Amino acid sequence: MEKNFRIGNGYDIHRLVEGRKLILGGIRVPYEKGLLGHSDADVLLHSIMDAMLGALCLGDIGCHFPPSDPAFKDISSLTLLKEVHNLLKAKGYSVVNIDSVIRAEKPKLKDYIPAMKTAISEAIELEATGISIKATTMEGLGPIGEGHAIAACAVVLLST
């Protein structure tokens, strides 16, 4: 049987605020601020989900998990990622690999990346070796560089 491949990309950005936990890649990262959003505002998982949905032309996470729906208030993005993964499986697809970048001035994320890869791996039934997570700063430029926000982008390859 011939394999069918689809590729998608995703991007997300959220404002950093006091009084919220910082959740990235499905894990809690110790920091004095967290990301503001209706769910846990995990920009990494949001960008990955948007890439997965985009690869199959299924819209974005706002279409599937609207911020106007109280059912998604403060929900773990890992829960949403599992739902998106189930959608892909129902369409006969699986994730081949993920390449992603987190853009954050602070906190430094290098030490948390292995745990993020494990959390994502377990959620979507993909070996951690198929998940790339990189972290970079914005060299003090713009809202991310000034410490007001964190963003992430991801590219996902799917196959049947």
C-alpha closest to that of 124 among 35, 9, 37, 25: 25
Domain ranges within the chain, ordered by starting residue: 5-159
**What is the CATH topology of the domain spanning 5-159?**
60s Ribosomal Protein L30; Chain: A; (3.30.1330)
> How far is the C-alpha of 117 from the C-alpha of 130, rounded, in Å?
9
pLDDT at 42: 98
- Kindly tell me if the per-residue pLDDT of 25 is higher than 90: yes
Partners of 10 in the beta sheet? 154
- Kindly tell me if the per-residue pLDDT of 125 is higher than 80: yes
pLDDT at 90: 97
First to last CA, the chain: 10
Q: State how beta strands 23-24 and 27-28 pair.
A: antiparallel
For the chain, give the mean pLDDT.
Answer: 96
pLDDT at 152: 98
pLDDT at 101: 98
Percent of the chain at pLDDT > 70 equals 100
In this structure, the number of other CB atoms found within 10 A of the CB of residue 26 comes to 24
DSSP letters for 148-160 = SEEEEEEEEEEE-
CA 113 to chain centre: 13
What confidence tens digit (pLDDT) does each residue in 26-72 have?
A: 999 999 999 999 999 999 999 999 999 999 999 999 999 998 888 88
- Kindly tell me if the per-residue pLDDT of 74 is higher than 90: no
Predicted confidence band of residue 8 (pLDDT cuts 50, 70, 90): very high
The pTM (predicted TM-score) of the whole model is: 0.96
Q: What are the tokens at 160? A: 């049947």
Average pLDDT over every residue of 70-96: 96
